[in-house]
Amino acid sequence: MKQYDYIVVGSGIAGLYTALLLKEQGSTLIITKGNIDDCNTRFAQGGIAAAISEEDSPKNHFQDTIRAGDGLCDEEAVRILVNEAPDRITDLVNFGVPFDTLNGEIALAMEGAHSRPRVLHAGGDATGEHIEYTLSNEAHNSKIQVLEDCLATEILIEKGRVWGVKALDCRSGTIEEFRCRFLILATGGAGQLYKFSTNPEIATGDGIALAFNAGAEITDMEFFQFHPTALRLPGVTPFLISEAVRGEGGVLRNVKGYRFMPDYTPDGDLAARDIVARSMLFEMTKTVSEKVFIDITHLSASVITTRFPSIYRFCFEHGLDITKDLIPVAPAAHYMMGGIKVNTWGETNIAGLFATGETACTGVHGANRLASNSLLEAVVFGKRIAEKIKRGDKVETRSDSKITEIHHSLANRQVSKMKRIPNLAALQQLQWEKVGIIRNKEDLTLAADTLASWQELLPQPTDRPSCELHNLVLTSRLMAEAAIIREESRGAHFRSDFPQSSPLWERHIVLTR
Q: What is the pLDDT averaged over residues 445-455? A: 94
Q: What is the pLDDT averaged over residues 291-312? A: 95
Considering only CA atoms, which of 195, 261, 206 is closest in space to residue 469? 206
Q: What is the pLDDT averaged over residues 452-459? A: 93
Considering only CA atoms, which of 262, 239, 311, 268 is closest in space to residue 113? 268
Model's pTM, two decimal places? 0.93
Q: What is the pLDDT averaged over residues 63-89? A: 96
Lowest mean pLDDT among 82-91, 120-129, 346-355, 491-500: 120-129
Lowest mean pLDDT among 65-74, 239-248, 286-295: 239-248
Distance CA 68, CA 192 (A): 25
Instruction: Count, in order, helices (H) and strands (E) of the chain.
Output: 14, 22
Q: Can you give the pLDDT at residue 395?
A: 74
Active site residue 273: yes
On whether the CB atoms of residues 372 and 41 are closer than 8 A, the answer is no
Lowest mean pLDDT among 21-35, 171-185, 392-406: 392-406
Average pLDDT of the chain to the nearest whole number: 93
Domains detected in the chain? 231-332 (3.90.700.10), 405-512 (1.20.58.100)
Considering only CA atoms, which of 300, 276, 233, 247 is closest in space to residue 125? 247
pLDDT reading at 230 higher than 60 = yes
Q: What is the pLDDT averaged over residues 40-53? A: 78
pLDDT band at 44 (very low <50, low <70, confident <90, very high): low
Q: What is the pLDDT averaged over residues 380-398? A: 88
Q: Can you give the pLDDT at residue 113?
A: 83
Count CA atoms closer than 13 A to 122's CA, side-chain side. Answer: 22
Which one of the listed residues 42, 273, 486, 495 is annotated catalytic?
Answer: 273
Percent of the chain whose pLDDT exceeds 70: 97
pLDDT band at 274 (very low <50, low <70, confident <90, very high): confident
Q: Is 319 exposed, middle or buried (0-12, 13-18, 19+ CB in 10 A)?
A: exposed
pLDDT reading at 194 higher than 80 = yes
Distance CA 82, CA 363 (A): 13
Q: What is the pLDDT averaged over residues 449-459? A: 93
pLDDT reading at 266 higher than 90 = yes
pLDDT band at 42 (very low <50, low <70, confident <90, very high): low
Q: Can you give the pLDDT at residue 332?
A: 96
Amino acid at 57: S
pLDDT reading at 252 higher than 90 = yes
Q: What is the pLDDT averaged over residues 170-194? A: 97
pLDDT reading at 181 higher than 80 = yes
pLDDT reading at 419 higher than 70 = no
On whether the CB atoms of residues 486 and 505 are closer than 8 A, the answer is yes
Percent of the chain whose pLDDT exceeds 90: 84
Q: Can you give the pLDDT at residue 126?
A: 83
Q: Can you give the pLDDT at residue 398?
A: 63
Q: Can you give the pLDDT at residue 46?
A: 67
Give the start-end residues of each E strand in 159-269. 161-169, 175-185, 218-219, 224-231, 239-240, 251-253
Q: What is the pLDDT averaged over residues 95-120? A: 91
